[in-house]
Chain A
């Protein structure tokens, strides 16, 4: 444990349950603070992209904005439509949020620190994050509103179909690392991060995370301009904030940390296992993990600010026709490369070559699938080409 002094100070020999409880509380506190920070960051960052200032009035530079939002939502009257199915309506927010929170359990944020070190950590995370779909369906069905039902059915179709590329992306990496335990995967990356070995699964994982959280290019369920609000259109006040705000932003943070641990080398990569500050080296490890996940979060927000929304059939065909086949190829090739136990360097080079070749093939497939006539053909005489202005 890299935090011996913390337990020693208390001088309490923790039994297993109390220890788990204390770690869980730590994760809850960190999660709420991060979620509030992310909401504030999203409004500021997307505002800056749109040449706007974002919240400025509440607190210095609008920092207390998300606290004000949370408090307001807490004291809002939470309506329930009279024709709604009582128990389903009540439980739906918790069924949506709890799985997202449980994925945070298996994530090792620092060298030795995690709530529980699960041998099948990666498998556990991917399995648990599939449960939120049930929450959406419950919310959509219970609120007895046509928009909500349509939104729920659409989000179910989207989440389930993007679950598989998520699994494949993660599976390919675990074959390379040889184990599903997150710690093992991170320790294996001390010289070269998995992103270099496996560029294609990283891209597939990023797209699948975007779809899993229904963010911009894939936000069919909450398509504001079409069916308003998705499955939680009937929720208001604290219930709505659990479903919408907490689930989305906690999931965003959780998956971003997962992406940085598995692909960008987590706290292992640039410095390996050498410890610089003795007992306090968890500081720079935490800093490493959070900056990497911060970059992933920023790219997701940037994508969500610039891309229009895909139609439901384009979204499905993109997943089934492009992400899935290339995911399978990647897993098969990894299997072949690893079973023949080439020497250390040859394995890395082979993995890198095959994966980047597949990445090029996939981008070619995407280009062919969405091939549009060239700008002259489309626009031709209507708009002089940009250079001519």
Chain B
């Protein structure tokens, strides 16, 4: 059965998406291949299961896809940028960015195993409070959202809502492989392959789960990013 190759109409899909699908020889078997008899221990990249295209996508999955549209991002102009004359803005940018950098308040938003490493980072062994980072329960008073764990498609609308509730300027740190691109669970269809599909992301922290030092390194990288982007951020 021929794998449909024509790009979707409406031009929105850039060409790069077309050949992103691996060259796949159409397998005729109705069922996906069962015995991975190749080299033991290594799962070969399975051919794209053509069988799926024959099944109509169930209504539930379509309803869910509609809920997973990404968040629209607005960067409002800062008040001091409109009031202060140009020459005064540079020092003002520097001071305000330094203040924001040294008092990042993340939201207590642990999802899965990475949450345990996040809690370990707040505790006395690797103390995040030294950087002025205090976890805060309510999204209204937070600057950073640490997505620590797998974002499933059932949880994605809640993540979007929390992101929209946070006041600007806000940043997102997807912690761990699951939040970056689905991690070990990426092949399951109920898991969102990376939180950057629904909200814009600033600093990715790799690891499964990343060590507390890796999360601290992520925070320091975010601090440097805040200092670099001090004139663009509102």
Contact = CB atoms under 8 A, between A and B. Distances in A.
Interface string B140-181: 110100000000000000000000010111000000000000
Contacts of B137: 224, 228-229
Interface in A89-123: none
B184 interface: no
Interface in A72-96: 72, 75-79
B71 interface: no
Question: Is the contact region of chain B dominated by helix, strand, or loop, or is it mixed?
Answer: loop
Given A229-B138, A233-B138, A72 B131 contact: no
Contacts of B90: none
A52 interface: yes
Interface stretch (B44-52, B59-67, B94-102, B191-199): B94-102
A23 interface: no
Interface in B45-91: 76, 78, 80
A57 B132 contact: yes
A272 interface: no
A67 B102 CA distance: 10
Interface stretch (A196-204, A235-243, A344-352): A235-243
Given A50-B124, A233-B138, A58 B167 contact: no
A64 B169 CA distance: 21
B103 interface: yes
A50 B123 CA distance: 9
Contacts of A53: 127, 129-130
A52 B124 contact: yes
Nearest to A241: B141
Interface in A42-80: 43, 47, 50-58, 62, 64-65, 67-72, 75-79
A67 B137 CA distance: 22
A67 B169 CA distance: 18
Contacts, number: 90
A235 B139 CA distance: 10
Contact of B167 (A51, A70, A237): A237
Contacts of A62: 130, 132
Contacts of B140: 79, 229, 233-236, 240
Contacts of B124: 50-52
Interface centre among B95, B124, B127, B141 (most CB of A within 10 A): B141
Contact of A72 (B123, B127, B143, B165): B143
Interface centre among B78, B80, B130, B143 (most CB of A within 10 A): B130
A75 B78 contact: yes
A62 B128 CA distance: 13
B132 A58 contact: yes
Q: Closest 5 interchain pairs by CB?
A: A71-B99, A58-B102, A236-B140, A229-B138, A51-B124
Given A47-B127, A65-B103, A69-B99, 16 more contacts: A43-B134, A52-B123, A52-B127, A54-B127, A55-B131, A56-B130, A57-B102, A65-B102, A71-B99, A71-B100, A75-B78, A75-B80, A75-B100, A79-B165, A229-B140, A237-B167
Interface of B: 76, 78, 80, 95-96, 98-100, 102-103, 123-124, 127, 129-132, 134, 137-138, 140-141, 143, 165, 167-169, 234
Interface of A: 43, 47, 50-58, 62, 64-65, 67-72, 75-79, 224, 228-229, 233-237, 240
